[in-house]
């Protein structure tokens, strides 16, 4: 059993293969967090807790005068608020009498031999033989009728522990939940760094590493989505941790809306890290019998560096978060019309593109923005999900038939959550948009946001999407979302429960996606929010691939895909070969390099095939062969970051599950005269087996390759790339 309970139901150990997470409900009923780290035998580690009389850190009544017992100093699972723990809390309550206090004590526990679900939200699920286990600990508020159920999931082999929180109002008087974070990690000892993934539109998820001190470190989003600016995933690690050594912990939120992730040392040098829905612009009213569910945090632990941590996340997200037919089915190589035509297309143009695509071995044409309503630029038409047959020169069904007739699949772009003021939908239902009466709304891309918390809005969208997808025989949907959300005011709640709207918006999006996928289980959904503005574990529950960034420049993509790879599997990263000069940066890179970079994600093209040379067309055919040849190795193998972007070159490697085959890709990112050698390390081979390297034909033992590495004798020129393989041989 991965979960063990001892000492009269008060000591809880969650064991994975390499880690142990321990809690103890002490004599005061406080749920202590006693340990998270390398696997132990489950011994009671409350002895690690050092207690002392700390001035200005008070004592709860149950401590019976013991001045060494203070909530302000103890490591806890559900830190109280307003009753003596002055550090960041997990949960805040506002009671009907106006008081603000949340003081939870242990009530009981249950264990289930399967994974728990989170109401209305994504969560890791059991997969055939591989099931998780669940521990539920119930905590009771001392002076009100609020109760909290803490859910802990354990995926033993995968080294993953999850946590989610349910708050219940078991009484008659109303309670306002002013804050409800999903997870708190308290570390009593040690120095830690916090790694966050920050960025901006077209430049997402660059790792930033900072020492955790007493000054609070915090990242988050108040944009209604998980955002380009900060990702809802962070790493805590020892200062000396590298790719291959040292302890590290991952915190990854399965949620696509506002979030916070913060870490801080307290007065005694203890580190507290928290993650969950951002408490700003949040409040949730719980009437009698109501409950609130906070999203799941996926915790990972590695005692040997970031590579292993990432591999654990890749596996768990691929196998227990992504769902549906395309979880394992090979993804079609696609051609997306966006950077090929933008808004300027008609049936002839699209069919001509599809014919060329089919001839080159591409398997799907995706018609991006511009096929509906009045939509020749991005100022109008959103919400009017009716095919613009005049622009197209026929129906979408006819176009679909032509495309299918060429042996291609047919994909279509939608942006369901948005509305243009210049649209029939907005003219008919202005109250369906989020906007504050009496204020001019803030416009993003000249569009407003629909109130996805409303069922009537979702019903309309579901009806339109289903009708179009069914009629035109659509095989793939790109679900886009192109602005940040503000002006929070739902006409449905007439403003009185606006603190709930950001969260209800996310629940509404999940609900619509779930309904859509239930109706069309074979559709491949690709998530997108101006590229990677909603690249999070929650979205992977619905869309096994997400357009990684609107930046298709191969060199910028090295950074973006590098940062994304710390948590998210390569199979989830939408990555396309596009034209040069690149539309976002103006940079010119070789076609081959663009292919190698796109190959390390869910592969496709996004350029006008009429404009590429015969030589490049031949390369497309070769690249598609490579994509098929390396498909499982790249998308299911173990991934290693070898050389980070920012140096002379960037390199990474894949090793298959049996460790018989490895593949390295290296891109030169700067050039110099009289170049110095390029030397790479090799990782993940079996030390006692022999491997032949495609670069120099030599066969050495895995041990030798991993110790000595490889020198490239022809140093690639700027932006050139090389692809090197190692095959296991008898020698
Ligand atoms: C933003 C997306 O990321 C692009 O790929 C494209 O679909 C545009 N939106 C279309 O408006």
Task: Answer yes or no: are the C-beta atoms of 91 and 181 closer than 8 Å.
Answer: yes
Give yes or no for residue 413 CB within 6 A of ligand 1: yes
Cα(531) to ligand 1 centroid in Å equals 7
What would you measure as the largest C-alpha separation in the chain, in angstroms?
84
Beta bridge partners of 54: none
**Average pLDDT score over residue span 348-355:** 98
Q: What is the pLDDT of residues 397-436, one digit of tens each?
A: 999 999 999 999 999 999 999 999 999 999 999 999 999 9
Give yes or no for residue 338 CB within 6 A of ligand 1: yes
pLDDT at 130: 76
**Average pLDDT score over residue span 438-457:** 97
Closest by Cα among 314, 318, 299, 306 to 20: 299
What dotted CATH number matches 643-729?
2.60.40.1180
pLDDT at 101: 97
Burial call 618-643: b when 16+ CB within 10 Å, e when fewer: ebbeebbebbeebebbbbbbbbbbbb
Virtual torsion, Cα 137, 140, 141, 146, nearest 10 deg: 90
Catalytic annotation present for 536: yes
Closest by Cα among 574, 570, 470 to 516: 470
Give yes or no for residue 480 CB within 6 A of ligand 1: yes
Residue of the nearest CA to atom 9 in ligand 1?
A: 530
Instruction: Give CA separation, 528 vs 56, 203, 249, in Å.
Output: 49, 14, 28
Q: Which numbered atom of ligand 1 lies nearest the CA of 338?
A: 6
pLDDT at 68: 98
Virtual torsion, Cα 364, 356, 394, 409, nearest 10 deg: -10
Give yes or no for residue 368 CB within 6 A of ligand 1: yes
Segments of 463-515 assigned E as strands: 476-479
pTM here? 0.98
Q: Is 617 helix (H, G, I), strand (E, B) or coil?
A: helix
Distance CA 575, CA 596 (A): 10
Distance CA 554, CA 575 (A): 9
Q: What is the pLDDT of residues 670-716, one digit of tens each?
A: 999 999 999 999 999 999 999 999 999 999 999 999 999 999 989 99
pLDDT at 173: 94
% of the chain at pLDDT higher than 90: 98
Name the phi and psi angles at 169, rounded to 5: -100, 105
Q: What is the pLDDT of residues 235-284, one digit of tens each?
A: 999 999 999 999 999 999 999 999 999 999 999 999 999 999 999 999 99
By 3-state DSSP, what share of the chain in percent is helix, strand and coil, each rounded to 5? 20, 35, 45
Catalytic annotation present for 6: no
Q: Is 612 helix (H, G, I), strand (E, B) or coil?
A: coil
Q: Which of 186, 384, 422, 616 is catalytic?
A: 616
How large is the C-alpha radius of gyration of the chain? 27
Q: Which residues contact 509 (CB under 8 A, 6 or more apart)?
A: 256, 417, 452
Task: Answer yes or no: are the C-beta atoms of 501 and 485 closer than 8 Å.
Answer: no
Q: Is 311 helix (H, G, I), strand (E, B) or coil?
A: helix
Instruction: Give CA separation, 391 vs 335, 343, 440, in Å.
Output: 21, 10, 33
Q: What is the DSSP letter of 156?
A: T
Q: Is the pLDDT of residue 638 over 80?
A: yes
Q: Is the pLDDT of residue 148 over 80?
A: yes
Task: Copy the structure tokens of residue 598.
Answer: 């796109």
Where does the pLDDT of residue 493 fall: very low under 50, low under 70, confident under 90, or very high at 90 and above? Answer: confident
Where does the pLDDT of residue 128 fall: very low under 50, low under 70, confident under 90, or very high at 90 and above? Answer: confident
Residue of the nearest CA to atom 1 in ligand 1?
A: 530
pLDDT at 567: 98
Q: What is the pLDDT of residues 168-220, one digit of tens each?
A: 999 999 999 999 999 999 999 999 999 999 999 999 999 999 999 999 999 99
Q: Is the pLDDT of residue 478 over 80?
A: yes
Cα(228) to ligand 1 centroid in Å equals 14
Burial label for 581, CB within 10 Å (0-12, 13-18, 19+), is: exposed
Q: Which residues contact 340 (CB under 8 A, 6 or more apart)?
A: 353, 606, 607, 608, 609
Chain centroid to Cα 55, Å, comes to: 42
Give yes or no for residue 547 CB within 6 A of ligand 1: yes
Determine the residue of 204, 338, 477 to mutate for testing ligand 1's pocket, defined as the one with the most ligand atoms within 8 A of the Cβ atom.
338
Q: Which of 536, 553, 559, 606 is catalytic?
A: 536
Q: Which residues contact 546 (CB under 8 A, 6 or more apart)?
A: 526, 527, 528, 532, 534, 535, 539, 540, 568, 572, 573, 574
Task: Answer yes or no: are the C-beta atoms of 388 and 404 closer than 8 Å.
Answer: no
Cα(119) to ligand 1 centroid in Å equals 31
What dotted CATH number matches 325-547?
3.20.20.70
Closest by Cα among 512, 402, 409, 406 to 452: 512
Task: Copy the structure tokens of residue 1.
Answer: 């059993």
- Mean of the per-residue pLDDT values for the chain? 97
pLDDT at 599: 97
CATH architecture observed for domain 3-320:
Distorted Sandwich (2.70)
Domain range list for the chain: 3-320, 325-547, 643-729
CB neighbours of residue 18 within 10 Å? 17
Burial label for 493, CB within 10 Å (0-12, 13-18, 19+), is: middle
Give yes or no for residue 421 CB within 6 A of ligand 1: no
pLDDT at 341: 98
């Amino acid at each position: 059993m991965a979960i063990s309970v001892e000492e009269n139901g008060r000591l809880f150990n969650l064991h994975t293969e390499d880690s142990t997470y321990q809690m103890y409900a002490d004599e005061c009923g406080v749920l202590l967090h006693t340990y998270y780290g390398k696997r132990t035998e489950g011994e009671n580690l409350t002895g690690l807790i050092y207690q002392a009389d700390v001035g200005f850190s008070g004592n709860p009544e149950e401590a019976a005068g013991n001045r060494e017992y203070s909530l302000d100093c103890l490591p806890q699972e559900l830190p109280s608020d307003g009753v003596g723990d002055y550090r960041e809390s997990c949960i805040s309550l506002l009671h009907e009498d106006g008081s603000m206090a949340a003081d939870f004590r242990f009530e009981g526990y249950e264990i289930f031999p399967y994974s728990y679900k989170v109401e209305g939200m994504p969560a890791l699920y059991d997969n055939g033989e591989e099931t998780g286990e669940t521990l539920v600990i119930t905590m009771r508020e001392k002076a009100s009728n609020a109760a909290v159920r803490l859910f802990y999931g354990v995926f033993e082999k995968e080294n993953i522990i999850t946590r989610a929180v349910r708050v219940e109002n078991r009484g008659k008087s109303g309670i306002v939940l002013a804050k409800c974070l999903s997870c708190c990690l308290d570390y009593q000892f040690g120095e830690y760094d916090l790694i966050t993934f920050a960025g901006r539109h077209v430049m997402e998820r660059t790792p930033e590493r900072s020492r955790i001190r007493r000054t609070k470190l915090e990242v988050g989003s108040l944009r209604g989505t998980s955002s380009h600016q900060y990702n809802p995933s962070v790493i805590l690690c020892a200062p000396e941790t590298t790719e291959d050594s040292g302890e590290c912990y991952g915190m990854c939120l399965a949620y696509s809306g506002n979030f916070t992730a913060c870490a801080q040392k307290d007065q005694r040098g203890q580190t507290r890290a928290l993650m969950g829905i951002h408490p700003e612009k949040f409040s949730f009213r719980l009437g009698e019998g109501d409950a609130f569910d906070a999203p799941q945090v996926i915790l990972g632990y590695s005692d040997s560096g970031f590579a292993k941590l990432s591999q654990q996340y890749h596996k768990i997200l691929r196998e227990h978060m992504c769902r549906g037919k395309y979880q394992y089915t090979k993804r079609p190589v696609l051609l997306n019309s966006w950077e090929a035509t933008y808004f300027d297309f008609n049936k002839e143009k699209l069919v001509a593109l599809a014919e060329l695509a089919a001839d080159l071995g591409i398997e799907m044409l995706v018609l991006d923005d511009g096929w509906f309503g009045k939509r020749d630029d991005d100022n109008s038409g959103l919400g009017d999900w009716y095919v613009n047959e005049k622009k197209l020169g026929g129906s979408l069904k006819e176009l679909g038939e032509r495309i299918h007739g060429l042996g291609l699949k047919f994909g279509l772009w939608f942006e369901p959550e948005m509305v243009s003021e210049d649209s029939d939908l907005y003219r008919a239902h202005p109250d369906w948009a989020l906007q504050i009466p009496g204020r001019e709304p803030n416009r993003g891309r000249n569009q407003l946001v629909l109130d996805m918390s409303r069922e009537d809005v979702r019903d309309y969208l579901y009806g339109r999407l289903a009708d179009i997808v069914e009629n035109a025989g659509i095989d793939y949907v790109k679900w886009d979302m192109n602005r940040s959300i503000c002006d929070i005011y739902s006409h449905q709640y007439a403003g009185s429960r606006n603190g709930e709207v950001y969260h209800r918006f996310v629940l509404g999006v999940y609900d619509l996606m779930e309904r859509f996928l239930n109706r069309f289980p074979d559709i491949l959904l690709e998530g997108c929010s101006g590229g990677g503005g909603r690249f999070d574990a929650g979205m992977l529950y619905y869309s096994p691939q997400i357009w990684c960034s609107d930046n298709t420049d191969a060199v910028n993509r090295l950074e973006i895909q590098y940062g994304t790879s710390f948590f998210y599997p390569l199979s989830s990263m939408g990555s396309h070969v596009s034209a040069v000069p690149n539309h976002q940066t103006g940079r010119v890179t070789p076609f081959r390099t663009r292919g190698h970079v796109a190959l390390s994600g869910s592969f496709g093209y996004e350029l006008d095939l009429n404009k590429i040379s015969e030589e490049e067309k031949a390369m497309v055919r070769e690249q598609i062969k490579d994509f098929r040849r390396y498909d499982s190795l790249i998308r299911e193998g173990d991934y290693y970051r070898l050389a980070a972007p920012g140096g002379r070159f960037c390199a990474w490697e894949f090793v298959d599950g049996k460790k018989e085959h490895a593949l390295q890709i290296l891109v030169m990112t700067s050039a110099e005269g009289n170049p110095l050698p390029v030397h790479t390390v090799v990782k993940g081979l079996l030390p006692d087996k022999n491997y032949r390297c495609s670069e120099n034909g030599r066969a050495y033992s895995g041990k030798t390759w991993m110790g000595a590495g490889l020198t490239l004798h022809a140093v690639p020129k700027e932006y050139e790339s090389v692809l090197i393989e190692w095959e296991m041989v008898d020698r």
